[in-house]
Amino acid sequence: MLNFCTLFDSNYLTRGLAMYESLKKHCLDFHLYIFAFDDKALNVLRELKLEKVTIISLSKFEDKKLLEIKPSRGKGEYCWTCTPSTILYVLKNYPVDNCTYLDADIYFFSNPKILIDEMGDKSVLITDHRYSKEYDQSEISGKYCVQFVTFKKNENGLKVLNWWRDACIDWCYNRVEDGKFGDQKYLDDWITRFNSVYELQNLGGGVAPWNVNQYFFIKNGDQITAKEIASNQEFQLVFYHFHSLKFIDNNLVQLADKKYKLSDKTKELIYKPYLQSIKSLVGSINKKFGKNFINQKELKFDFIKKIKLIFFGKKRNIINQNSLF
């Protein structure tokens, strides 16, 4: 069985649920541990009674060390701080021999088992950002992305995980300082610092706005086949990281930060099914819990700016999502 964990609050509730639904579709034998970071998310998740899910509240999860540093971290910084602690909590408290942390805004297009199997007898799996040259932020954000990180419950795996947890509790902020940035730059030297750390080679794990322009995509039945333009290497898309996707209102959505170029094919094959999943989830949750229970307005624009965005938004990756459906 594959064991996963993720964390999110009510602002990312539909993203986290979309990720879970994509896991259900492509991975038969798995269990997902969800750390609910506010009461609204906790109550909805409990009411939904999701199969293959264990819900963990902050009151159960937070220990003395986390509570001591919590006031010194911003909301996002505290989530980053908690990432290694969520993995460790699962490994310590449940009968599992491995756990993979997932960012809540990733979405699976095929079975992630192929990624975890690739690590073989190694104890830790990390994923490269694989930045396109024009988007390279590795000096700031690090070579590796904390989006899909696997740890085995053995001596080598726990050594790395405990080191990471301690480092994040000591320092985890949304700024660059002494070669650190959030929870992520800590991963840069793991290949040489520790034994048994493996860097994922499968290009299908970790496609994201910062590297998607390196690939060409085609629909192949229920799968999406991709080809790396530079090498002609073909692979199956396993997951996509919808980093910087934000909703302006129920119709307008910023697909990604405006600096990233997204092809029409990428929008059609990758963004469309994701937005369809989220739209369906918003509808079902609002039907169950009350109209407008889920408010997806994450970016604020006045009326005049909204009108301009309808006509000129393409250059900023802003679209009316109904145009995709």
pLDDT tens by residue, 135-176: 999 999 999 999 999 999 999 999 999 999 999 999 999 999
pLDDT at 222: 80
Average pLDDT over residues 230-238: 97
Query: Which band of pLDDT confidence, cut at 50, 70 and 90, is reported for residue 322?
Result: confident
Q: Are strands 252-254 and 318-320 parallel, antiparallel or unpaired?
A: antiparallel
Higher pLDDT, 183 or 299: 183
Rounded to whole angstroms, how far apart are CA atoms 106 and 4?
13
Higher pLDDT, 299 or 62: 62
Is the confidence at residue 314, as pLDDT, over 80?
A: no
Q: Which residues contact 240 (CB under 8 A, 6 or more apart)?
A: 106, 107, 109, 207, 208, 212, 270, 274
Which of 31, 36, 1, 40 shows the shortest CA–CA distance to 16? Answer: 36
Is the confidence at residue 312, as pLDDT, over 60?
A: no
pLDDT at 315: 58
Average pLDDT, the chain: 94
Q: Are strands 205-207 and 239-241 parallel, antiparallel or unpaired?
A: parallel
CB 168 within 8 A of CB 183: yes
Is the confidence at residue 310, as pLDDT, over 80?
A: no
CB 191 within 8 A of CB 146: no
Q: In this structure, how many other beta carbons lie within 10 angstroms of the beta carbon of residue 318? A: 22
3-state secondary structure 246-259: EECCCCEEECCCCC
pLDDT at 21: 98
For 66-117, the pLDDT digits (tens) are: 999 999 999 999 999 999 999 999 999 999 999 999 999 999 999 999 999 9
Domains, the chain, in order of start with CATH, read 2-202 (3.90.550.10), 244-324 (no CATH)
Higher pLDDT, 248 or 47: 47
Question: Percentage of the chain with pLDDT > 90?
Answer: 85
pLDDT at 318: 87
DSSP structure class, residue 228: E
CB 13 within 8 A of CB 44: yes
Higher pLDDT, 28 or 192: 192
Average pLDDT over residues 247-275: 92
Q: How far is CA 239 from CA 11, 25, 28, 202, 259, in A?
A: 21, 13, 16, 11, 21
Query: Which band of pLDDT confidence, cut at 50, 70 and 90, is reported for residue 301?
Result: low
pLDDT at 321: 82
Is the confidence at residue 304, as pLDDT, over 90?
A: no
E strand intervals along the chain: 2-8, 30-36, 53-57, 98-102, 106-108, 124-128, 144-152, 176-177, 180-181, 197-199, 205-207, 215-220, 223-228, 234-236, 239-241, 246-247, 252-254, 318-320
Query: Which band of pLDDT confidence, cut at 50, 70 and 90, is reported for residue 290?
Result: confident
Tell me the backbone φ, ψ of residue 155, rounded to 5 degrees.
-55, -50
Average pLDDT over residues 252-268: 94
Tell me the backbone φ, ψ of residue 223, rounded to 5 degrees.
-105, 160
